[in-house]
Structure 1
Amino acid sequence: MMTNLIIFLVLMTLGYLAGQVAERKHYKSIIQREKRFSGLPVIASRFPPTDKLFNQCLVSGNTVISVDYFKRFIAALRNLLGGRVTSYESLLDRARRESLLRMQAQAYAMGAEYVFNVKYETASISKGRKNAIGSVEVLAYGTALIASDSGTGREI
């Protein structure tokens, strides 16, 4: 009985540490790419800028991020006690930001000057017992505005 508890605690600690390392690495990558694409405005407005003539093209970015076992365990405890499930908040934040960056990369490669009417779609992908969340999928999409006189695009 005591051996099982020790094994459980060791595995939970390893899961926590591995999840923290992976999450920090992902956030570092996100921050670097956000700086890179900071010159490409992403606008939620439904109406495009009217200062010049643009070609329009749909762009999107999709991300699926899995929940690690430690976060799933903490979320299960939080569900018993009630309140915010903060262990999933960073998961959703990373998925949204990654999807937006992938959409921006696609727009940038096309030579876009703006991306407007940006929207998000989020879905949980169930897996395992009792339809527990296994992964979260986020799709970011919008309309890229490409100047009528621009070239074919840019290297990412």
Structure 2
Amino acid sequence: MIQAGVAVVLLVLGYLFGRLAEKRHFKKLIEREAATQHVPVVATRYPPEDRAYDQQLVSGNVVIASDYFKAFLAGLINIFGGRVTPFESMLDRARRESVLRMKDAAIALGATYVFNIKFETSRIATGKVAAMEVLAYGTAMIPTSEEAVRPEIAHEV
């Protein structure tokens, strides 16, 4: 009886603290996404040709762990089948965080945007609790000096 009570208390605590941490992280993600929206991230494979750019690979990596409550729910869902929705929000947070870290790297280089973005995702199993690793990478487009943009335009002005 005591063991069942301890298990219930741990599940409730896992749910409450996990939910609180997730809400805080989503709030920070929204703030950081608004602050970095001036650097678009596009999935196209073809770079722009409007001016001369230097190109550099940038990446952002994150590992986000699940809480015990999500792991418990995912275990129940695995028994009965269906979408494992507890891990969907974890994966969404991981992807968004990795893109923001990649954007931070691009901004530090002076890039105007990142193209050809790709994701690598892997599950890291640590006992009964899962963690997700997400790597976002792409090519940062860094404008070269104004004189090197288009020499024919520089002479017209």
In 1, the alpha carbon distance for the partners of 2:120 and 2:18 equals 25
Q: Percent identity?
A: 53
Paired position in structure 2 for 1:139:
135
Instruction: Give TM-score, length-normalised by structure 2.
Output: 0.90
Unaligned runs of 5+ residues in structure 1 are 151-156
Unaligned runs of 5+ residues in structure 2 are 147-157
Shift of 1:134: 2.3
Counterparts of residues 37-116 of structure 1 (less than 5 Å): 37-116=36-115
In 2, the alpha carbon distance for the partners of 1:118 and 1:143 equals 7
Paired position in structure 1 for 2:20:
21
Any idea what the Cα deviations from partners look like across 1:108-154, whole Å, max 9, x if unmatched? 111101100000000111222xxx5621100000000001117xxxx
State the superposition RMSD in angstroms. 1.1
The residue type paired with residue 73 of structure 1 is F
Paired position in structure 2 for 1:154:
none
Shift of 1:7: 1.4
Cα contact 1:58–1:144 (8 A) shared by 2: yes
The residue type paired with residue 57 of structure 1 is Q
Which of structure 1's runs of 4+ aligned residues deviate more than 2 A?
none
Instruction: Give TM-score, length-normalised by structure 1.
Output: 0.91
Considering only CA atoms, is the larger Rg found in Structure 1 or Structure 2? 2
The residue type paired with residue 54 of structure 2 is N
Change (3 A) 1:133 1:117: farther
In 1, the alpha carbon distance for the partners of 2:109 and 2:116 equals 17
In 2, the alpha carbon distance for the partners of 1:115 and 1:31 equals 19
Counterparts of residues 124-135 of structure 1 (less than 5 Å): 124-128=123-127, 134-135=130-131
Any idea what the Cα deviations from partners look like across 1:63-100, whole Å, max 9, x if unmatched? 00111111000000000111000000000000000000
Matched length: 146
